[in-house]
Amino acid sequence: MPSMIDVAKLAGVSHQTVSRAINRPDTVRPEIRERIASAIEQLGYRRNLSARALVTNQTRNLGLVDSGSSIPGHARMLMAIESAAREHDYATTVAVVANPKRDAIAAAFSHLMDRGVQGIIVLANTTDLAEASLRVSANVPVVMVAGGMSSKQQLRIVGVRQEEGAQMATRHLIEQGYTRIAHLAGPKTWLDAHLRVRGWASELRSLGLAVDVLGTGDWSAASGYRIGLEQADNQLPEAVFASNDQMALGFMLAMHQRGVRIPDDVAIVGFDDQAGSDFFYPPLTTVRQPFSQVGHTAIDMLLRALAGAPPESHSVSPELVVRESSIRVGH
């Protein structure tokens, strides 16, 4: 591999000048920078980040603790955080924790810190993961991506207002004239699922409407399909608010197979606005989560923590995207 000295020789400058051109380009004259850039391109030079870390005592590496969930919304959040980190010239190292117990979380934190991460972001989708992270996070700046939590100890909290999103979805159905609005819930251990149930229920109760959970799924289309088939032979509600788009998709297929028309016989709203939800049949009304905004906010908060800023919390609002699956005929 070509070295910085090789670049300096080809450009006709000192290796110190090459270093300044790379790390502090404003201190090098434009014509010199152009020569160095040409030499770098010609030689295929790459910076040695490990050597840089030894000199600056900064690895520019951030850790991500993740449950390894494959649901589309969770995966999009992970991608948004990694992309935001790269925009700030930080690499990310992911530690997957399938068993969110204290020992497993502690081992994940230790694994990341052994690799020199400067801070850690935890995608705290379950109560167990969030609570275990709280107990083992004292030795490194941490940002937790989680809904419904306040800033505690040395943690920074960022999340989407899940309860507000569920209220938006339910209010939309009420405004369409539906009064019997059931909920297809997500896993009870997930913080987001709990908040969506709470938002849906509070909106109905505020108007004196009945609160009825249609069933509890596992975020998968298969679980939505199973619950849909179970309910198709009973008295269906007028509308369903599904806790994510995948379960809504499965439910819609079950309705189609049972000859139940959407939205004529039963309306449905999902959550996440996953890629392709506008191509469901009919196109799915859903709550769009601002994944990119949360990812950038999480990275910004962690960088502020590294600079010595005090703990803070921040939440962002989702957006209702109205499509055909929830529009009542005549409205």
Secondary structure (3-state) at 26: helix
Q: Quick check: 62 and 116 in contact, CB under 8 A?
A: no
- Those residues whose C-beta lies under 8 Å from the C-beta of residue 174, and which sit 6 or more positions away, are 181, 203, 207, 209
Secondary structure (3-state) at 61: strand
The string of DSSP codes covering 159-219 is EE-HHHHHHHHHHHHHHTT---EEEEE--TTBHHHHHHHHHHHHHHHHTT---EEEEE--S
Q: How many Cα atoms are found within 13 Å in the side-chain-facing hemisphere of 258?
A: 22
Six-digit token pair at 197? 């149930």
In DSSP terms, 268 is beta-bridged to 240
**How much is the pLDDT for 240?**
98
**How much is the pLDDT for 48?**
59
Kindly indicate the confidence band of residue 58, based on its pLDDT and cuts at 50, 70 and 90: low
Tell me: pLDDT of 154 over 80.
no
Kindly indicate the confidence band of residue 50, based on its pLDDT and cuts at 50, 70 and 90: very low
What domains can be seen in the chain, in order of their start residue? 4-47 (1.10.260.40), 59-160+291-316 (3.40.50.2300), 162-289+321-326 (3.40.50.2300)
Residue 115 or 171, more confident: 171
Q: Averaged over 5-19, what is the pLDDT?
A: 89
Tell me: pLDDT of 49 over 60.
no
Which pLDDT tens digit goes with each residue over 31-44? 998 998 888 888 88
Which pLDDT tens digit goes with each residue over 277-292? 999 999 999 999 999 9
Omega into 311 within 30° of 0, i.e. cis? no
Tell me: pLDDT of 14 over 50.
yes
